[in-house]
Amino acid sequence: MNPANQNSELRNALFALKPFIQRTMFFSFFTNILVMVPTVYMLQVYDRVVNSRSHMTLAMLTLMVIGCFVLMELLEWVRTGIMQQAGLKLDAQMSERVFNAVFEANLRRIPGATSQVFGDLRSVRDFLSSPAVTAIMDVPLALLYIVVLFMINLSMGFMSLLGALVSVGLAYLTERDTQPPLTAANRAAIAAQNYANGNLRNAQVIEAMGMQGNIHSRWMKRQKEFLFMQAMASDYGGAYSASSKFVQMALGSLLLGAGCWLTVLGQFPGGGGMMIVASIIGGRVLAPIVQLIAMWKQVVNARDAYSRLDKLLQAIPAKQPGMALPPPKGMLSVEGVVAGAPGSSVAIIRGVSFMVPAGQVVAIVGPSASGKSTLARLMVGVWAAGNGKVRLDGVDIFPWNKTELGPHIGYLPQDVELFDGTLAENIARFSYVDMTKVEAAARAVGLHETILALPQGYETSIGDDGCFLSGGQRQRVGLARAIYGNPRFIVLDEPNSSLDEAGEQALVQTLLALKTLGTTIIVITHRTSVLAAVDLMLVLHDGLVKAYGPRDEVLAALQRGAQAVATAPSAGALPPAAAAA
* Pair 277, 39: CB distance under 8 Å: yes
Which of 85, 104, 130 lies at the terminal end of a domain, its last residue? 130
Evaluate whether residue 318 is within a structural domain: no
Q: Is residue 284 part of a domain?
A: yes
Say whether both 156 and 269 belong to one domain. yes
User: 364 and 244, same structural domain?
Assistant: no
The domain boundary, picked from 130, 151, 166, lies at 130
Domain boundary pick from 245, 269, 294: 294
One domain, residues 188 and 223:
yes
Low-confidence ranges of the chain (pLDDT < 50): 2-4, 571-581
What is the dihedral sign for C-alpha 477, 328, 534, 546? negative
Using CB atoms within 10 Å of the CB of residue 522, give its burial: 0 to 12 exposed, 13 to 18 middle, 19+ buried: buried
For residue 438, give the CATH number of its domain: 3.40.50.300
Do 253 and 402 lie in one domain? The reply is no
Q: Strand order of the sheet with strand 361-365? A: 409-412, 489-493, 520-524, 361-365, 536-541, 544-550
Helices 154-200 and 116-128: crossing angle in degrees, nearest 10, is 160
- When divided into structural domains, the chain yields a total of 3
Judgement on whether residues 379 and 476 belong to the same structural domain of the protein = yes
Residues 126 and 162 grouped into a single domain: no
Is 495 part of a structural domain of the chain? yes
Domain range for 26 is 8-130
| CA–CA gap between residue 435 and residue 427 (Å, rounded) | 10
The pLDDT of residue 114 is 65
In a domain, 547, yes or no: yes
* Pair (339, 445) in one structural domain: yes
Residue 231 lies in a domain: yes
Judgement on whether residues 344 and 453 belong to the same structural domain of the protein: yes
Say if 261 falls within a structural domain: yes
Residues 477-522 pLDDT 10s: 999 999 998 999 999 998 888 788 888 888 888 899 899 999 999 9
Note whether 436 and 509 are same-domain residues: yes
Is pTM beyond 0.75? Reply is no
420 within some domain: yes
Contacts of residue 559, Cβ cutoff 8 Å, sequence gap at least 6: 581
Q: Is residue 326 part of a domain?
A: no
pLDDT in the model for residue 275:
73
Q: How far is CA 517 from CA 298, 363, 366, in A?
A: 60, 18, 28
139-157 pLDDT, tens digit per residue, is: 887 778 888 778 877 888 8
- Tell whether 113 and 151 lie within a shared domain: no
Claim to verify: residue 279 and residue 157 sit in the same structural domain: yes
Are the CB atoms for 300 and 127 separated by under 8 Å?
no
pLDDT of residue 414: 86
Q: Are 148 and 108 within one domain?
A: no
Alpha-carbon distance 48 to 64, whole Å? Answer: 14
